Amino acid sequence: MNGVPASITYLTVDDAKPHWNGHTHEYYCVLEVEGALVIDGERVPVAAGDCVWIKPGAHHYAEGSITSLIIAMPAFDPAGMSHEGATAQEQTQGTLGG
């Protein structure tokens, strides 16, 4: 994203597809939750107010419904994201909802 050091995204997701980011550190600041995050196969229970660090390359997804602010460093770039079973268009557009 042209040298931008970070991005912040407000996101509500329900049962997201497993995905990963090639070079981005993500910090999920959980606002509301009815579920958990799964990171590299490990189920991580979360509560409102938690902040979870997801390292580049870690396969992750939400079980249930999670609303969060996601701080990405460097800034989120859909071209650097992939998810299991994604079409090229989905990967480019960054559509990860379940």
Q: Does domain 17-77 have CATH number 3.90.700.10?
A: no
Domain boundaries, the chain: 17-77
pTM: 0.76
The tokens for 68 are 């969060």
pLDDT > 80? residue 90: no
| pLDDT, tens only, 20-46 | 988 899 999 999 999 999 999 999 999
